[in-house]
């Protein structure tokens, strides 16, 4: 898979043919009582040129943000939440604050993968010799001065285990593509490398997972 595809799988994503489309993916475990529902909301579209690596780098939102915000509001209009969390990165923080005001708890564990030295650079211009090794095993190998997928998974698991102790029923989480993909892998009990066989969450998409 090309470098830029890796980045898209974690965060970049594909532009939608129909603007402001909101999809609902309601995945559930059969024959299991639902104790907690995570309402995962991916941030809206960002003003980043295709092929640029960004994970924990703060980037601006597109000028279409007001319309996208209204679409997200519509998607959650009938939902009630016991707790609300968000990544502190500005693209998620802005959406979370506009949706929920001061009710949001920001948690660093909900940030996107840290691409380290590669942040903000064009994938095609990265000269790091370690890049090819990372592409071969991005699950276990870290980006230069950054994270591996396993490291992202570990912090998300820690966050999830803490949530379970709080005994909330419905929890809203504003976050990133990589975190959502990780939670889907945990939910389905699949290996991390298999998580990339799942359809990625689109910008502004609501993904609901029952635990």
Enter the tokens of residue 210: 């029952």
Q: Which pLDDT belongs to residue 20? A: 35
Q: What does the pLDDT look like over 61-112, one tens digit per residue?
A: 999 999 999 999 999 999 999 999 999 999 999 999 999 999 999 999 999 9
Separation of alpha carbons 138 and 132, rounded Å? 10
Q: Could you report the per-residue pLDDT of 176-207, keeping only the tens digit for each?
A: 999 999 999 999 999 998 988 888 899 999 99
Q: How confident is the model at residue 48 (pLDDT cuts 50, 70, 90)?
A: very high
Closest CA to 110 of 180, 63, 60: 180
Please state, in angstroms and rounded to a whole number, the distance separating the CA atoms of residues 54 and 72. Answer: 23
First to last CA, the chain: 32
CA 137 vs CA 18, 113, 118, 141: distances in Å: 34, 15, 16, 6
33 compared with 210, residue with greater pLDDT: 210
């Amino acid at each position: 898979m090309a470098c830029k595809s890796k980045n898209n799988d974690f965060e970049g994503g594909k532009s939608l043919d129909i603007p402001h489309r909101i999809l609902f993916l309601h995945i559930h475990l059969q024959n299991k009582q639902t104790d907690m529902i995570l309402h995962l909301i991916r941030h809206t579209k960002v003003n980043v040129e295709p092929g640029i690596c960004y994970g924990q780098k703060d980037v601006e939102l597109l000028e279409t943000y007001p319309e996208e915000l209204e679409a997200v509001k519509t998607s959650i209009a009938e939902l009630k939440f016991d707790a609300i969390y968000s990544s502190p990165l500005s693209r998620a923080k802005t959406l979370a604050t506009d949706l929920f005001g001061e009710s949001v708890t920001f948690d660093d564990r909900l940030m996107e993968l840290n691409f380290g030295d590669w942040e903000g650079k064009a994938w095609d211009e990265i000269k790091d010799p370690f890049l090819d090794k990372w592409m071969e095993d991005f699950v276990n190998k870290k980006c230069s001065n950054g994270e591996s997928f396993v490291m992202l998974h570990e912090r998300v698991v820690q966050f999830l285990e803490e949530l379970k102790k709080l005994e909330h029923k419905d929890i809203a989480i504003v976050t990133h593509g990589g975190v959502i993909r990780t939670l889907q892998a945990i939910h389905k009990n699949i290996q991390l490398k298999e998580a990339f066989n799942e359809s990625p969450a689109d910008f502004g998409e609501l993904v609901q997972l029952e635990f």
